[in-house]
Amino acid sequence: MATQTTDTVTIQPACNLRGSLSVPGDKSISHRYAMLAAIAEGRSSFSNFSTGADCASTLSCLRTLGCRVTHGVTVEIEGRGMKLEAPALQLDCGNSGSTMRMLAGILAGQAFESVMIGDASLSKRPMKRVIDPLTQMGANVSSQDGRPPLIINGGNLKGIDYKTPVASAQVKSAVLLAGLFADGPTSVEEPMRTRDHTEVALRAFGADIDRQQNRTTVRGGQTLAGIQAQVPGDLSSAAFFLCAAALFPNSNLVIDGLGLNPTRAVLLDVLVQMGVRTKVIQLEERHGELIGMITIEPRELRGTTIEGAVTAAVIDEIPVLAAIAPYTKEGVRIRDAKELRVKESDRLAAIATNLHAMGAKVEEFEDGLDIPGGQQLRGAEIQSYDDHRIAMAFAVAALRARSETVIHGASSARISFPEYFHLLQQLTSE
Ligand code: S3P
């Protein structure tokens, strides 16, 4: 079904998706576990750590900050306590916004200068959202007009009470991590609930955190203790398979060891609304994160509207939901998704251009898309814009197209899910 050259993958139309799989460790949780392990006392060890290049960027920055990190079957990190080592090199965050924004919070608490850089995509992404609160806390952060590189001179932080103007888990996390190094308490209030992995992980590493509705408070001066943990499977990676299975009524898919944190699992509610039955079995809790096995029973695919708090909760899954939207009965309306314009690519534009290339009708708005249902798509040449989620989402759209699709820039999948095209090939039948 999928033929791969170095950077191009050809996808043939399929007739169903069947089998069982487990997906690599959650990217968001892997970043957080690694960063907290670096500033904890003692050794941490993580199994099923994300295999994506983004989390490798985090590990590489932590090495440059003096941490001993080994990456074999498990990732082992020797914690340095709250003091990292002044970096002799620039900290290269690669394509990873999570690395730059969240690590900036820790670096704001370190009494040395660090320079954070990123690739061409990351260098265009907005950083003012972390610069503002970290500056209010007393760090000195300079940038190129609100974009990377960031030069951070940290230390001597004071706690703040901060209302995040954008719903961003990365910003919330940066402020809470800086709060660990501040004098007094630091509170973050968010306009709507975003993923809470930082809060959950902080507790797992022994920190005291207080949460009242959308407001989280951390006390400065706490110490963390290393943990041994298994990283739950990444629901945002599983999303491609769940949506691909949803395209074919005779699909049968089981995903094991999947992270089902309620702040991430909203995709399942959206799928249920779209007529797709999912069953969660063997649910257990590990270090505050829920892990379960999920099965999916597709039916006729219905349309839906994704807006408000739901948009924020499924922000990383919108590319793949948009990719299956033309095949739904009533179509999909997406709003309040302006943030997608400042992800690894302008995802709203990338989705609209690629759907048009496949012959679909789609209307683009500043903050969303209207994708009518009942459409037949043709295979096409797809551009990933070097964005992993665009490359992977359009491989899903291609499965129900009438002819073969060529995805250019497919190697961008390595950012979050290097095994993706291989697994897709194993599970689909022509
Ligand atoms: C992430 C938060 C989201 C998400 C990103 C990962 C995280 O970004 O899109 O892929 O791990 O906290 P924002 O914080 O910019 O919304």
First to last CA, the chain: 7
Query: Would the pTM count as exceeding 0.75?
Result: yes
Separation CA 349–CA 327 (nearest Å): 20
Q: How many CA atoms lie within 13 A of 362 on its CB side?
A: 29
DSSP output for 244-290: HHHT-TT-EEEEEEEE--TTTTHHHHHHHHTT-EEEEEEEEEETTEE
Given this model, what pLDDT does residue 22 score?
96
Given this model, what pLDDT does residue 69 score?
98
* Spans in the chain with pLDDT lower than 50: none
Tokens of 81: 């306590």
Our answer to whether residue 210 is catalytic in this structure is no
Find the angle CA(74)-CA(75)-CA(79) to the nearest 5 degrees: 140
Q: Which atom number of ligand 1 is nearest to the Cα of residue 342?
A: 15
Given this model, what pLDDT does residue 4 score?
64
Q: Which atom number of ligand 1 is nearest to the Cα of residue 312?
A: 16
Given this model, what pLDDT does residue 5 score?
65
Ligand 1 geometric centre to CA of 122 (Å): 13
What are 389-405's pLDDT values in tens digits? 999 999 999 999 999 99
Ligand 1 geometric centre to CA of 162 (Å): 18
DSSP output for 345-374: S-HHHHHHHHHHHTT---EEETTEEEE-SS
Please list every protein residue whose CB sits less than 6 Å from any atom of ligand 1: 28, 98, 168-170, 173, 195, 315-316, 339
What are 2-46's pLDDT values in tens digits? 666 679 999 999 999 999 999 999 999 999 999 999 999 999 999
Task: Please state, as a whole number, how many other Cβ atoms lie within 10 Å of the Cβ of residue 177.
Answer: 27
The SS3 of residue 142 is strand
Residues 6+ apart with CB under 8 A from 28: 98, 169, 195, 197, 234, 264
Given this model, what pLDDT does residue 68 score?
98
Residue among 316, 367, 370, 386 flagged as catalytic: 316
Given this model, what pLDDT does residue 1 score?
52
- Cβ atoms of 162 and 182 within 8 Å: the answer is no
